[in-house]
Amino acid sequence: MIIESPQSFVTHEECEKAAWQHGFRRSLGEVAGWAEYASTTAQGRIWLAANGLQGPWFLAIDHPGVVAELNLPPANLPGPGLSRHVFGTLGQLYAVLPRLYQLAVSLPNAPLHAFQAKVAKLPKTTEAERLVIQRIGQDIFRAGLMEYWQGRCPLTGITDPELLRASHIVPWAECDSDAERLNAHNGLLLSALWDAAFDRALVSFGDDGRPLFSPQLSDMARAELRWTAPIALTDQHKVRLARHRHRFSTSGC
């Protein structure tokens, strides 16, 4: 596969537009036909290239978490980043970039870096001051989960932000670091009723993403906990959910 090098003016403009429209607005130059971009809000870098306007188009990524979760077919070509991928059309490239950005802003360590920047100069002496910092962290955690889960409860499909809750798998107070508290893999974006049941260990989830219900739930409550599809879980979610299931099992299941 041939990469146009250097990029023509039109190819450069198309690459820049694709990067800019999907959150990667820092242009870092071009090497061997690969135009490099970064973001002030997302972790990692991307590179875009093409074999002229007719394609194919090429994408390279250096964020290991994004590479793992996008799970795109790799392209056997030299270039930058940890993985490189080929798309027959510009439209196919555009279809991938929104999810790439969502993962880059929600996966470690973007939320942690945002939190550290916001609280760096805040006092942490009194309980009130520590509660302010905790609230900032919880707001950043929620924003990250909104990106990661694409603004919808994976069980019910509900997308109303007012009805969605950022549910910690390992509770905030039990996490041993801010990195774990803010880790998107330590959270589920659940509708309010599911969040209440999950928080109180009245429901949990198996590794297949299907709900597990406590016998403490009334028939009416269980009937109201409707769901349409299991949750798609990564291995990192599953590790943390094993801990939640222990709490679930010892609460009376």
> Which H/E stretch holds residue 240?
helix 235-250
C-alpha of 5 from chain center: 33
Across the chain, the runs of DSSP E, i.e. the strands, are 26-31, 34-38, 46-50, 57-61, 83-87, 164-168, 187-191, 203-205, 211-213
Domain boundaries, the chain: 9-106, 110-250
pLDDT digits (tens, 9 = 90+) for 38-70: 999 999 999 999 998 888 999 999 999 999 999
pLDDT category of residue 11 using cuts at 50, 70 and 90: very high
Compute CA distances 182 → 89, 108, 219, whole Å: 36, 8, 35
Cα pseudo-dihedral 170, 176, 178, 184, rounded to 10 = -30
In angstroms, the CA 222 to CA 109 distance is: 37
pLDDT digits (tens, 9 = 90+) for 157-195: 999 999 999 999 999 999 999 999 999 999 999 999 999
In angstroms, the CA 247 to CA 238 distance is: 14
Tell me which residue has tokens 């880059």: 104
